[in-house]
Chain A
Amino acid sequence: MGDPALLEPPPPGAIQVDTTSARSTARRETVRLLMRRPEFLIGMGILLFWVTCAIFGERLAPHDPQLPNPLFSHAPPGSDNWSYVLGTDRFGRDVLSRVIVGARDVLIVAPIAALLGVTLGTLLGLVMGYYRGLLDDVLSRVVEAFLSLPVTLVALLTLVMLGSSTKTVVLVVGVLFAPIVARTVRAAVLSERELDYVQAAKLRGENGPMIMTREILPNITGPIIVELTVRVGYAIFTISTLSFLGVGIQPPSPDWGLQISEEYSMIINGYWWTVFFPSIAIASVVIATNLVADALQSVLQR
């Protein structure tokens, strides 16, 4: 998809005396390009909506998400004169309130896990790509063995052995994402290390860690940022699946995956609203993250 905006002359207002550095101009240019992409705006809009829900949770919710109401167990949407807009679960708790407050845990845990994975993976990828040799060969084999197991499965085994808590979930998902990130970063480092500026740094006598962090790292931020957004999407995917399987976020949190796990066995009784709305919530967050990642990828790697 060609961007016609690139061919247009800059608007008159934009030509001013430039006092900022080249890097911040480039950054502003990136933001401007992103703002022109509908998928970025839609994705950001959906994410902002859920972040608002996560922050203000109880203040936006019409009911207390934890308060049971035995008179209205499994009430369909619109019950009690539209007091329960999306219906209630088996304890008579309001589904709408639980969906709003349920955004909180996953939106805190998933980005932290993704950040941990990207940090570890970047370090690993830098070392593998820069030093090559035996170390790279051995680590590449280990990475490949890790990739031959579905992340959800290894996470399940690990969380059973270590016990589930928010801390272990973050740790396990972060560590399991690291090999995947390392592979991407390694590929980026491999093409960078042959460039002249790296040779120049070597001739200047800079040491390995210095070249990796000060020379190569700033030049591969594009792919790393893209990888981070992609990983946030996968972290939401993985953590909500783990919560659904009972080893992720623990009760009494109104987490979406947990809500579905508590109610799915009763779908056949016709209580569709208890699982349908949390599913919509997960789907919208995951798709929104992917839209943002997609836009970032096409803008940063143009």
Chain B
Amino acid sequence: MLRFIARRLALAIITLLLLSLIVFAISNVLPQDVGRSILGPFASQETVDAMNHKLGTDQPKLDQYLHLLKQIVTFDFGDSFQTGQPVSDLIKTTLQNSAKLAILALVITVPLGIFAGTLAALRRDTIVDRVIVMFGLAGSSLPEFVTSTFLVVLLGTQLHLLPPLANWPPGSNIFEQIHYLLLPALALVLVYFGYIARMARAGMIVALESDYTRTAMMKGISRGTVIRRHVLRNALLPTIAVVATSTGYLFGGLLAVELIFNINGLGRLLVTAAKAKDLPVLQAGVLVIGIIYMFATLIADILISWLNPRIRLGSEG
């Protein structure tokens, strides 16, 4: 097990290096003159040179890349152009709000998705199955900002069921905050429910048709016990992988959702940084989201190998 984790960690470090290389290439190599592309065509050459000097983009490319790596390791990304605050502070505060939203969304989606997927598999090819599959497909194919506008309009401003914006009064306790975060979380739930339900359904169907399930059934164990003790345990492995990958995409979806619901999170920070061409914030934010995704898949891989020894032993052999 330790060997598996070590191997997987080494792989994660390689992915992280490639990730930093991609972000570096996009922001420092692709534009011919970084200062010019931030300040626009009408800025004077002196301001552009000053900007390039401030960013370090007048240095050799290799030095620039090593500097970026140092920034990642020390979690010190310089100061924001817009506010002058350290980028790491901005990311820490906004990440807290984003994490609240993402966790709330996951806490609702994962059990709901697994339940719906299991139900669909057990009632396969009935109307229940069709409705769950179609609903999931429709939800996961729509952009987050479209589902968000639907929810704000329908549940927020027309039916007045939930607060349409997530701007809770200062000093609210966690339950009041959850009340305000419910509608944006629901927007994310609608998108990610489909992925998880689909995976849970597919895993369940494979497990239900397997020989060990038939054997257990023929031993005379009740259907409920077979499903709980034999089927679910095997069926949920692929679902764990999907939960991990969707966590990364969840943070991508936060961009639009946080904008519409006016949440001071990492997504909104990135969009405002993009509008202001605030490169340090933008670069750091993209990297942080990539790293979150990497950790989510890392944890999922370790969890899966712990639950299923075949994967762990297979990769060691």
A residues with a Cβ closer than 8 A to B are 1, 141-142, 144-146, 148-154, 156-158, 160-163, 233, 237, 240-241, 244-247, 257, 260, 264, 267-268, 270, 272, 275-276, 279, 282-283, 286-287, 290, 294
Which residue of chain B is the closest to A291 with respect to CB atoms? B137
Cα–Cα distance between A247 and B165 once the two chains are bound (Å) = 24
* Residue of A153, A156, A237 contacting most chain B CB atoms (<10 Å): A153
* Residue of B23, B143, B144, B259 contacting most chain A CB atoms (<10 Å): B143
CB pair B15 A156 closer than 8 Å: no
Cα–Cα distance between A233 and B137 once the two chains are bound (Å) = 12
CB pair A275 B149 closer than 8 Å: yes
Given A156-B274, A244-B256, A276-B149, is A150 in contact with B22 using a C-beta cutoff of 8 Å?
A: no
Q: Quote the shortest CB–CB distance from B286 to chain A (angstroms).
A: 5
CB pair B138 A154 closer than 8 Å: no
* B 235-253 contacts with A by CB, 8 A: 248-249, 251-253
Contacts of A160 in B (CB 8 A): 274, 277, 282
CB pair A283 B22 closer than 8 Å: no
CB pair B157 A272 closer than 8 Å: yes
Contacts of A150 in B (CB 8 A): 248-249, 251-253, 289, 293
CB pair B274 A148 closer than 8 Å: no
Cα–Cα distance between A163 and B253 once the two chains are bound (Å) = 22
CB pair A145 B141 closer than 8 Å: no
Which residue of chain A is the closest to B27 with respect to CB atoms? A161
Which residue of chain B is the closest to A156 with respect to CB atoms? B274
Which residue of chain A is the closest to B31 with respect to CB atoms? A161
Give the secondary structure class of B's interface: helix
CB pair A272 B282 closer than 8 Å: no
CB pair B255 A156 closer than 8 Å: yes
Which residue of chain B is the closest to A138 with respect to CB atoms? B18
**Does chain A have a CB within 8 A of B270?**
yes
Beyond the given pairs A145-B15, A264-B149, A276-B149, 20 more chain A to chain B contacts, judged by CB atoms under 8 angstroms and listed by A's residue number, are: A141-B14, A141-B15, A145-B18, A145-B19, A148-B290, A152-B252, A157-B283, A158-B30, A161-B31, A162-B30, A162-B37, A241-B145, A244-B145, A246-B275, A260-B146, A276-B153, A282-B146, A286-B141, A286-B143, A287-B141
Contacts of A144 in B (CB 8 A): 15, 18
Partner of B142, one of A1, A152, A283, A294: A283
Cα–Cα distance between A154 and B27 once the two chains are bound (Å) = 10
Partner of A267, one of B146, B152, B294: B152
CB pair B256 A245 closer than 8 Å: yes
**Does chain A have a CB within 8 A of B217?**
no
CB pair A270 B18 closer than 8 Å: no
Q: Could you list 17 A-B pairs, sorted by A, with CB under 8 Å?
A: A144-B15, A148-B294, A149-B290, A150-B253, A152-B252, A157-B274, A157-B286, A162-B31, A241-B255, A241-B256, A245-B271, A245-B274, A260-B145, A260-B146, A276-B149, A283-B142, A283-B150
Q: Quote the shortest CB–CB distance from B121 to chain A (angstroms).
A: 16
**Does chain A have a CB within 8 A of B26?**
yes
Contacts of B259 in A (CB 8 A): 244-245, 264
Cα–Cα distance between A287 and B134 once the two chains are bound (Å) = 10
**Does chain A have a CB within 8 A of B260?**
yes
CB pair A241 B248 closer than 8 Å: no
Q: Mark B66-87, 1 if CB is under 8 A from A, else 0.
A: 0000000000000000000000
CB pair B282 A157 closer than 8 Å: yes
CB pair A157 B31 closer than 8 Å: no
What 4 A-B pairs are tightest by C-beta distance, nearest first? A150-B252, A145-B18, A272-B153, A275-B149
Contacts of A152 in B (CB 8 A): 252, 255
**Does chain A have a CB within 8 A of B305?**
no
CB pair B143 A282 closer than 8 Å: yes
**Does chain A have a CB within 8 A of B158?**
yes
Cα–Cα distance between A290 and B142 once the two chains are bound (Å) = 10
Which residue of chain A is the closest to B260 with respect to CB atoms? A264
CB pair A156 B275 closer than 8 Å: no
Q: Quote the shortest CB–CB distance from B2 to chain A (angstroms).
A: 24
* Residue of A145, A163, A276 contacting most chain B CB atoms (<10 Å): A145
Contacts of B37 in A (CB 8 A): 161-163
Cα–Cα distance between A163 and B152 once the two chains are bound (Å) = 31
Contacts of A290 in B (CB 8 A): 137, 141
Which residue of chain A is the closest to B14 with respect to CB atoms? A141
Partner of B165, one of A268, A270, A272: A268
Contacts of A141 in B (CB 8 A): 14-15, 18
Given A153-B286, A245-B274, is A267 in contact with B164 using a C-beta cutoff of 8 Å?
A: yes
CB pair A268 B27 closer than 8 Å: no
Q: Mark B9-41, 1 if CB is under 8 A from A, else 0.
A: 000001100110111001100110010010000
Cα–Cα distance between A146 and B25 once the two chains are bound (Å) = 12
CB pair B146 A157 closer than 8 Å: no
Partner of B270, one of A156, A270, A272: A156
